Amino acid sequence: MPLTSDRPTVLLFATGGTIGMRRTERGLAPDPDFPMALEIMTSGICEPLGIDYRINHLTPPIDSANADADTAPRIAAAVRARVRTARPRGVVILHGTDTLAYTAARLAFELDGLGSPVVITGSMEPHGAPGGDAAANLRLAVRAALRASGSAPVAIAFGGELLPAVRATKHQAAEFEAFRASRPIEAHPVRVAEAVSDEASRIPARVISFRFVPGVTADDLRAAIGGRPDGLVLECYGTGTAPTARPGMVDALREACAAMPVVAVTQCDTGGIDFSRYAAADPLTACGVIDGGDMTLEAALAKLGFALDRGARGDALRAVMGLNLVGERG
């Protein structure tokens, strides 16, 4: 939509997801008519509020299940470029729900200091579904983007709630209230720009996770790092324990830490890592595993990848991971 006045403007970025799909014989698939439908839906929300809007479409749209290491940085680059020229009151990003929490967490770091509030949303049902949640979520996101301050942290608008992106996770597979933030956002006196370089790597770091379960072996951990990721997040038990008494596990951990930065987070919904609580955690600290505090898995993956992309290595990376940059850890 062309800008016609000095009214507040919202930039909307449609990247894909269920909200832009329709039902087919093979299941939900991208709807070629979605651009027009989104125009109508957005106009119906913005016009009564007296605001202008501009819609940007990622072409081709992505199924969020296919999101990769480049997805969030690419979205962030597009948002920064548009914000510099349009200077909007707020930004709304549409994204598929499968990896929305991962992308949102990364955007919280990427877009800190943008100057325009950013809100991410999507839907569990396609835009044309009777009784669906698409319009309600978009309306909530637009209103939130208008009302937030320019320095507000990136947020998720979904299921009638506004959640801090860096603390959110998807906990429901099919319900409208699909996301929750079980850990409150903390004050963050250290800003991203003060902690890392603003020069990003041209090839985004690939960071993966590995979850400890009772049947896991040292060979399983070695297999996880066999694809040579740039970083690893360990999903540990409780306050940071792992089956280190299992044959070869400590050696495998030592090999992982020698090859890449390794960060530990808890599998629990609340609380965080405390390596001093149990002696069983001693091997993790001895090998060099980084304490991820109470970060969610999504936030830890996002932060580690972001820090690596900004050139943080060794002790500098460990220091950055211990800071609270955008409310990701207490």
Sketch the domain layout of the chain as residue ranges: 9-188, 199-322
Q: Please state whether beta strands 27-30 and 21-24 pair in parallel, antiparallel, or not at all (unpaired).
A: antiparallel
Confirm whether pTM is higher than 0.85: yes
* For residues 199-203, average pLDDT: 82
197 has a pLDDT exceeding 90: no
Which residues lie below 8 Å from residue 264, measured CB to CB, with a gap of 6+?
A: 233, 234, 236, 240, 273, 275, 284, 289, 290, 291, 292
User: How would CATH label the architecture of 199-322?
Assistant: 3-Layer(aba) Sandwich (3.40)
Query: Is the bond preceding 60 in cis, omega lying within 30 degrees of 0?
Result: yes
User: What's residue 201's pLDDT?
Assistant: 79
Share of the chain above pLDDT 90, in %: 88
2 has a pLDDT exceeding 70: no
Compute the residue count for the chain: 330
Model pLDDT for residues 94-105, shown as the tens digit of each residue = 999 999 999 999
Model pLDDT for residues 40-50, shown as the tens digit of each residue = 999 999 999 99
Model pLDDT for residues 289-308, shown as the tens digit of each residue = 999 999 999 999 999 999 99
**Nearest-10 crossing angle of helices 100-110, 71-86:** 50
Model pLDDT for residues 167-176, shown as the tens digit of each residue = 999 999 999 9
Nearest of 327, 16, 284 to residue 168 by alpha carbon? 327
Domains 9-188 and 199-322 share a fold: yes
Q: Are 271 and 277 within 8 A, CB to CB?
A: no
Give the C-alpha separation, 155 to 104, whole Å. Answer: 8
User: What's residue 164's pLDDT?
Assistant: 96
Tokens of 91: 């930004």
Which residues lie below 8 Å from residue 98, measured CB to CB, with a gap of 6+?
A: 63, 64, 65, 67, 170
| The CATH number of the domain covering residues in 9-188 | 3.40.50.1170
Q: Which residue has the higher pLDDT, 187 or 264?
A: 264
**How open is the CA angle 10-66-161, to the nearest 5 degrees?**
45
Tokens of 136: 């309600």
Buried b (16+ CB within 10 A) or exposed e, 223-235: ebbeeebbbbbbb
**How open is the CA angle 293-299-302, to the nearest 5 degrees?**
125
153 has a pLDDT exceeding 70: yes
